[in-house]
Structure 1
Amino acid sequence: MIVVLAKAIPKDEKSCEKIVEFAQDLIENTRKEDGNIDYNLYSNTGDGVLLFVEQWESKEVLGAHLETEHFIKFGKNIADLVAQDLIIDVYEAEATDL
């Protein structure tokens, strides 16, 4: 399984609200994609950082996601709303016993 943590740092509170608004279409459509296990957006109101937490079956399906219309549209919509490029960390995860 592939886990993605993607941080968006909005320029200000109004930008944060707009990013969350634009993310609704992205989240809805991404959850319908083949190979998507989970896709959520979390907000820390203390520091304003938005965090996408994603789970994918493989690198290949994640790569296909990056080429979807809804992902590209989201990137264009938020380009002027973030203080810097998204900070994206990608991890390979495997199940383990406790």
Structure 2
Amino acid sequence: MITVIAKTNVNDANYDRYSSLIGQLVVASQAEQGNVSYEHYENASIPNSFVIIEQWKDRQALNAHIEADHFKVYWQEVTQLCINEPTIQMFEDSDEISYE
């Protein structure tokens, strides 16, 4: 499994457009083959700061997501709405730690 954590900050003036874009992205991404989980959160203590936590069955599923039209539309537009470039971290199964 692959886990991706993407963080972004948007300008106040772009909040409504971002909310619309992310809502569409989440619904479409959750329906993709190979998606395990796709969640979006707003940071309660930092205004207009957001995080997406997504899990994919494998690299092939993640690559298909990146090539999907809904992701391309989101990415093209979100980069124009952000205060700074989104940060993205990716973890593969081998990076997971078990506490058992």
Give TM-score scaled by structure 1 length. Answer: 0.88
Q: Secondary structure at the match of 2:55?
A: strand
What's the counterpart of residue 73 of structure 2? 73
Task: Kindly provide the amino acid, as one letter, of the partner of residue 38 in structure 1.
Answer: S
Aligned amino acid, residue 21 of structure 2: F
Q: Are positions 1:86 and 2:86 aligned together? A: yes
Query: Whole-Å Cα distance in 2 between the matches of residues 13 and 29 of structure 1?
Result: 25
Root mean square deviation, CA, Å:
1.6
- The answer to whether structure 1 residue 31 and structure 2 residue 30 are counterparts is yes
| Higher mean C-alpha deviation, range 40-49 or range 65-74 | 40-49
Specify the alignment match of 1:4 in structure 2: 4
Q: How does 1:35-50 map to 2 (within 5 A)?
A: 35-47=34-46, 48-50=48-50
What CA distance in whole angstroms lies between the structure 2 residues aligned with 1:73 and 1:90?
21
In terms of fraction of residues, the more helix-rich structure is: 2
Aligned residues: 97
Identity level (%) = 26
Show structure 1 runs of 5+ residues with no match: none
Structure 2 residue matching 1:54: 3-state secondary structure: strand
1:16-46 per-residue CA deviation (whole Å, 9 max, x = no partner) reads 3321221111111111111000101100132
Q: Gaps spanning 5+ residues in structure 2: where?
A: none
Q: 1:56 to 1:95 in 2, by over 3 A?
A: farther
Report the alpha carbon displacement of residue 64 of structure 1 after superposing the two structures with TM.
1.0
Normalised TM-score (structure 2): 0.86
